[in-house]
Amino acid sequence: MSRTPPRLQPRLQVLRLDHAPALLDFERENRAYFAASVPDRGDEYFAHFGERHRALMAEQDAGLCHFHVLVEDGGEVVGRVNLVDVAEGSAELGYRIAEKAAGRGLATAAVREACGLAVTEYGLTSLRAVTTLDNPGSRAVLARTGFVPTGGLQLDGRPGLRFLCDLRTPA
């Protein structure tokens, strides 16, 4: 009897220059899916992806941001988790998971791992996040990973919430 080997969880990796082709594929394949819940990146993002990727790497090298990709064994990017606007021990969390990988708990696991890295590798003490009210999946991920709502806002013309996670308190 032949058994299919268990599917391995994708690995969270610090974004590198050589991730660019797989990351661009991920963004293109999921553009419409992402645009249903977050503002679209726009055509310019895709037209100048290589330049933008190199600029992000420079920001990461300067310690201003920490970018991560969630990578399957074959090298396919199925998600990303970013910590941006790093200052005074805090950063803003952003994440997205490919449509075909949604519903597997990957966002929660990746955000948890990124929170751990925020403390152990980047010396951060808090993270901020925002999401729209019509994105219950994102709100659930934030709640499961220790984020608490701190107030409302308008995000791309839609009502949303701000969240904060004190990384000194275990989730």
Helix 49-61 vs helix 20-29: crossing angle, to nearest 10: 120
State pTM to two decimals.
0.92
Cα angle 142-136-111, degrees, rounded to a multiple of 5:
25
pLDDT at 103 over 90: yes
Domain edges within the chain? 11-166
User: What is the distance between the alpha carbons of residues 125 and 25, in angstroms, rounded to a whole number?
Assistant: 33
pLDDT per position as a tens digit, 67-78: 999 999 999 999
Nearby residues of 134 by Cβ (< 8 Å), 6 or more positions away:
37, 158
Q: For residue 171, give both structure tokens.
A: 């989730």
Taken in order 38, 40, 45, 49, is the CA torsion positive or negative?
positive
Q: How far is CA 47 from the centre of its chain?
A: 22
pLDDT at 36 over 90: no
User: What is the distance between the alpha carbons of residues 2 and 159, in angstroms, rounded to a whole number?
Assistant: 51
**H or E element: which one contains 2?**
none
pLDDT per position as a tens digit, 134-144: 999 999 999 99
Percentage of the chain beyond pLDDT 70 is 95
Q: For residue 94, give both structure tokens.
A: 């952003």
11-166 CATH: 3.40.630.30
Question: pLDDT grade, residue 37 (50/70/90)?
Answer: confident
